[in-house]
Homo-oligomer: A and B are copies of this chain.
Protein backbone atom coordinates (compact mmCIF):
# COMPACT_ATOMS: atom_id res chain seq x y z
CA UNK A 1 0.00 0.00 0.00
CA UNK A 2 1.30 3.39 -0.97
CA UNK A 3 1.21 6.16 1.60
CA UNK A 4 2.84 9.51 2.27
CA UNK A 5 3.69 11.22 5.58
CA UNK A 6 3.98 14.99 5.77
CA UNK A 7 3.95 17.65 8.52
CA UNK A 8 0.39 18.88 8.89
CA UNK A 9 -0.66 22.11 7.15
CA UNK A 10 -3.24 24.60 8.53
CA UNK A 11 -5.76 23.55 5.86
CA UNK A 12 -5.64 19.96 7.16
CA UNK A 13 -6.68 20.67 10.76
CA UNK A 14 -10.28 19.53 10.27
CA UNK A 15 -9.11 16.22 8.81
CA UNK A 16 -6.78 15.80 11.78
CA UNK A 17 -9.60 16.50 14.23
CA UNK A 18 -11.69 13.76 12.63
CA UNK A 19 -8.87 11.26 13.20
CA UNK A 20 -8.39 12.45 16.80
CA UNK A 21 -12.10 11.77 17.39
CA UNK A 22 -11.71 8.26 15.99
CA UNK A 23 -8.81 7.63 18.38
CA UNK A 24 -10.76 8.98 21.37
CA UNK A 25 -13.57 6.58 20.49
CA UNK A 26 -11.19 3.63 20.15
CA UNK A 27 -9.61 4.45 23.54
CA UNK A 28 -13.07 4.76 25.15
CA UNK A 29 -12.18 8.35 26.06
CA UNK A 30 -14.78 10.23 24.00
CA UNK A 31 -15.85 12.07 27.17
CA UNK A 32 -12.42 13.80 27.21
CA UNK A 33 -12.83 14.99 23.60
CA UNK A 34 -13.14 18.78 23.72
CA UNK A 35 -10.66 19.89 21.02
CA UNK A 36 -11.91 22.20 18.27
CA UNK A 37 -10.39 23.29 14.94
CA UNK A 38 -9.49 26.60 16.62
CA UNK A 39 -7.75 25.04 19.64
CA UNK A 40 -5.77 22.68 17.40
CA UNK A 41 -4.82 25.46 15.00
CA UNK A 42 -3.55 27.55 17.92
CA UNK A 43 -1.51 24.66 19.36
CA UNK A 44 0.01 23.67 16.00
CA UNK A 45 0.39 26.99 14.19
CA UNK A 46 -0.13 29.81 16.72
CA UNK A 47 2.54 32.33 17.71
CA UNK A 48 3.27 30.11 20.72
CA UNK A 49 2.72 26.75 19.04
CA UNK A 50 3.24 23.91 21.52
CA UNK A 51 2.69 20.79 19.41
CA UNK A 52 3.60 19.28 16.06
CA UNK A 53 1.70 16.74 13.98
CA UNK A 54 2.36 14.47 11.02
CA UNK A 55 -0.40 13.26 8.73
CA UNK A 56 -0.35 10.00 6.76
CA UNK A 57 -2.29 9.85 3.51
CA UNK A 58 -3.05 6.96 1.21
CA UNK A 59 -4.65 7.69 -2.14
CA UNK A 60 -5.22 11.25 -0.95
CA UNK A 61 -7.23 10.11 2.08
CA UNK A 62 -6.00 10.89 5.63
CA UNK A 63 -5.43 7.49 7.23
CA UNK A 64 -3.33 8.21 10.32
CA UNK A 65 -1.46 10.77 12.36
CA UNK A 66 1.12 11.37 15.04
CA UNK A 67 0.92 14.35 17.41
CA UNK A 68 3.82 15.30 19.69
CA UNK A 69 5.24 18.02 21.94
CA UNK A 70 8.52 18.83 23.68
CA UNK A 71 9.38 17.75 27.20
CA UNK A 72 12.36 18.40 29.47
CA UNK A 73 14.21 16.17 31.88
CA UNK A 74 16.04 17.72 34.82
CA UNK A 75 18.20 14.58 35.11
CA UNK A 76 19.39 14.46 31.48
CA UNK A 77 19.28 18.28 31.26
CA UNK A 78 17.89 17.84 27.75
CA UNK A 79 14.66 18.24 25.89
CA UNK A 80 12.68 15.19 24.89
CA UNK A 81 9.74 14.45 22.63
CA UNK A 82 6.42 13.16 23.93
CA UNK A 83 4.16 11.32 21.51
CA UNK A 84 0.68 12.38 22.57
CA UNK A 85 -1.10 10.31 19.92
CA UNK A 86 -0.35 7.71 17.30
CA UNK A 87 -3.28 6.53 15.24
CA UNK A 88 -3.88 4.57 12.05
CA UNK A 89 -7.42 3.92 10.76
CA UNK A 90 -8.30 0.25 11.38
CA UNK A 91 -8.68 -0.65 7.71
CA UNK A 92 -5.19 0.70 6.95
CA UNK A 93 -3.32 -1.14 9.68
CA UNK A 94 -0.66 -3.75 8.97
CA UNK A 95 0.98 -1.80 6.16
CA UNK A 96 3.74 -0.08 8.13
CA UNK A 97 1.99 3.29 8.42
CA UNK A 98 2.21 3.38 12.23
CA UNK A 99 5.86 2.39 12.11
CA UNK A 100 6.60 5.06 9.48
CA UNK A 101 4.81 7.69 11.61
CA UNK A 102 6.70 6.80 14.78
CA UNK A 103 10.02 6.72 12.89
CA UNK A 104 9.24 10.18 11.52
CA UNK A 105 8.65 11.50 15.07
CA UNK A 106 11.87 9.77 16.20
CA UNK A 107 13.67 11.73 13.44
CA UNK A 108 12.19 14.97 14.87
CA UNK A 109 13.54 13.93 18.29
CA UNK A 110 16.97 13.08 16.87
CA UNK A 111 17.15 16.35 14.94
CA UNK A 112 16.37 18.26 18.17
CA UNK A 113 19.10 16.27 19.97
CA UNK A 114 16.50 14.94 22.37
CA UNK A 115 17.54 12.54 25.09
CA UNK A 116 14.21 10.74 25.30
CA UNK A 117 11.22 9.84 23.18
CA UNK A 118 8.29 8.87 25.39
CA UNK A 119 4.61 8.12 25.38
CA UNK A 120 1.96 6.20 27.29
CA UNK A 121 -0.18 3.29 26.15
CA UNK A 122 -3.27 1.63 27.55
CA UNK A 123 -2.43 -1.63 29.29
CA UNK A 124 -5.26 -3.47 27.48
CA UNK A 125 -4.03 -2.45 24.02
CA UNK A 126 -1.85 -5.51 23.51
CA UNK A 127 -1.41 -4.91 19.78
CA UNK A 128 0.06 -1.46 20.49
CA UNK A 129 2.28 -2.77 23.32
CA UNK A 130 3.65 -5.56 21.08
CA UNK A 131 4.28 -3.03 18.32
CA UNK A 132 6.20 -0.68 20.64
CA UNK A 133 8.26 -3.60 21.91
CA UNK A 134 9.12 -4.55 18.32
CA UNK A 135 10.54 -1.04 17.85
CA UNK A 136 12.89 -1.58 20.80
CA UNK A 137 10.96 0.67 23.20
CA UNK A 138 11.11 -0.03 26.94
CA UNK A 139 8.08 -0.31 29.20
CA UNK A 140 8.81 1.51 32.47
CA UNK A 141 6.63 -0.59 34.73
CA UNK A 142 7.66 0.96 38.03
CA UNK A 143 6.29 4.40 37.11
CA UNK A 144 2.69 5.36 37.86
CA UNK A 145 0.88 8.15 35.99
CA UNK A 146 -0.84 10.69 38.22
CA UNK A 147 -3.29 13.37 37.12
CA UNK A 148 -5.24 16.30 38.49
CA UNK A 149 -7.85 17.89 36.26
CA UNK A 150 -11.06 19.92 36.36
CA UNK A 151 -12.45 20.93 39.76
CA UNK A 152 -9.72 19.06 41.69
CA UNK A 153 -7.01 21.06 39.94
CA UNK A 154 -8.84 24.35 40.46
CA UNK A 155 -9.31 23.54 44.14
CA UNK A 156 -5.61 22.76 44.61
CA UNK A 157 -4.65 25.99 42.84
CA UNK A 158 -7.04 28.01 45.01
CA UNK A 159 -5.74 26.75 48.35
CA UNK A 160 -4.36 29.44 50.57
CA UNK A 161 -1.18 28.65 52.37
CA UNK A 162 -1.60 28.73 56.11
CA UNK A 163 1.29 30.66 57.58
CA UNK A 164 3.28 28.52 60.00
CA UNK A 165 5.05 29.99 62.95
A residues with a Cβ closer than 8 A to B are: 1-2, 20, 23-24, 29, 32-36, 39-40, 43, 50-51, 67, 69-79, 82, 84-85, 95-96, 100, 102-103, 106-107, 109-110, 114-124, 129, 132, 135-149, 152-159, 161-162, 164-165
Contact = CB atoms under 8 A, between A and B. Distances in A.
B143 A102 contact: no
Nearest to A147: B118
Contact of A85 (B23, B34, B74): B74
Q: Give the 10 A-B residue pairs with the shortest CB-CB distance, closest first.
A: A35-B77, A39-B77, A110-B157, A106-B157, A106-B156, A32-B75, A140-B145, A51-B72, A136-B152, A117-B148
Contacts of A102: 156
A136 to B, nearest CB: 4
A74 B86 CA distance: 11
Tell me the interface secondary structure of chain A in the complex. Answer: mixed
B20 A43 contact: no
Nearest to A124: B142
A34 B165 CA distance: 39
Given A102-B156, A153-B106, A157-B110, A35 B137 contact: no
Contacts of A76: 32, 34-35
Given A24-B75, A50-B79, A77-B40, A146 B161 contact: no
A138 B142 contact: no
A136 B84 CA distance: 24
A32 to B, nearest CB: 4
A109 B72 CA distance: 17
